[in-house]
Amino acid sequence: MHELRLLCPEDRVEVLGEALDALDALSVSVEDADAQTDAERALFGEPGMPPPAAGWQRSRIVALFPDEASAREAAALLRAQDFFSDCQLLGVGEVPQQDWVRLTQSQFAPVEITPSFWIVPTWHEPPAQAREVIRLDPGLAFGTGTHPTTRMCLRWIATHPVRDLRVLDYGCGSGILAIAAAKFGATDIDALDIDEAAVASTRLNAEANGVTLRAGLPDAVQGHYPVVLANILATPLKVLAPLLTARVATGGALVLAGILERQADELSAAYAPHLPAGSALTVADREDGWVLMTATL
Ligand SMILES: C[S@@+](CC[C@H](N)C(=O)[O-])C[C@H]1O[C@@H](n2cnc3c(N)ncnc32)[C@H](O)[C@@H]1O
């Protein structure tokens, strides 16, 4: 395969992407040409919040073609277009052959949650000290155990009694929290998500781990649960406060993640009106700038 590398200003990214697509590029990727410099621009915004900028000042576009001739032909055609005037051709080069599957797999190692509880990709053997193991490969849905928010929830599950309890995993992604609850003895588990792909992924992962749970869309929520877990993000968690608190059984635990340290007070305040007297949402764990917040209802 050969790659065609281009440099362009923010307002040409879309038209170049469309043109490369029409020229049968196998893939087109766009990166910040100023990454790792003072001019680097963050483009991430929380759900519901606008991103800080619509695009990068200068983008580096890399398009893959099956051979050198098609990459060069695409370069020649693009250079002849009016919209290419402020753009630059950086080069055409061969992409070295790699074992992409092995390369991807090498980035996912077993993740330790506690010394005896591990998340292990199927291409690895579980470590000798692992007593409880979830087998999980990275897929379309979030939740491989590598993110601090997931890890803190998993740690909570592993260190609190969930045996024989009903559990709600709201925003289940890959289903990792629901599967962990099942591994630690929870018996009646609802794993729900607004994303159909997450629901499908949860079903497959549960089956692969030999556990029983119900995966579905949020309207499948039913009754009250002694444990309600939700690892989403601060903004949706605030919106979901009435719904999530209403689903926690009396004396049950609400466990929330996806919250940055600086958002903890904001979350406590948003949940306060929905909690019984004497109960509060407080920080129970922290990792890498994220916090886990819990309340007993
Ligand atoms: C950060 S992932 C968490 C996945 C997994 N539970 C974990 O702990 O790794 C958040 C998930 O919540 C889902 N989600 C976002 N907003 C939601 C909402 N309002 N109701 C239900 N699920 C939601 C997303 O589709 C995503 O799969």
CATH number of the domain at 113, please. Answer: 3.40.50.150
What's CA 122's distance to the chain center, in Å? 19
Residue segments in the chain with a per-residue pLDDT below the cut of 50: none
Residues 108, 92 share a domain = no
Domain that holds residue 291: 104-296
CA distances from 172 to 91, 175, 297 (A): 43, 5, 22
pLDDT score recorded for residue 46: 60
CB 178 within 8 A of CB 206: yes
Residues 124, 90 share a domain = no
Residues 236, 188 share a domain = yes
d(CA 50, CA 137): 32
The domain tally of the chain equals 2
pLDDT digits (tens, 9 = 90+) for 232-273: 999 999 999 999 999 999 999 999 999 999 999 999 999 999
pLDDT score recorded for residue 45: 64
CA of 96 to the centre of ligand 1 (A): 37
The closest-lying atom of ligand 1 relative to the alpha carbon of residue 172 is 6
CA of 173 to the centre of ligand 1 (A): 5
User: Which of 48, 67, 97 marks a domain boundary?
Assistant: 97
| 193 annotated ligand-binding residue | yes
| 212 annotated ligand-binding residue | no
User: Looking at residue 41, which CATH number applies to its domain?
Assistant: 3.30.70
- Kindly report the number of other CB atoms within 10 A of residue 114's CB atom: 13
Shortest-distance Cα residue to atom 4 of ligand 1: 173
pLDDT score recorded for residue 8: 95
pLDDT score recorded for residue 241: 98
Residues 292, 171 share a domain = yes
Residues 223, 140 share a domain = yes
Pocket test residue of 119, 136, 142 for ligand 1, highest count of atoms within 8 A of CB: 142
- Give backbone dihedrals phi and psi of 54, rounded to 5 degrees, phi first: -75, -25
CB 146 within 8 A of CB 282: no
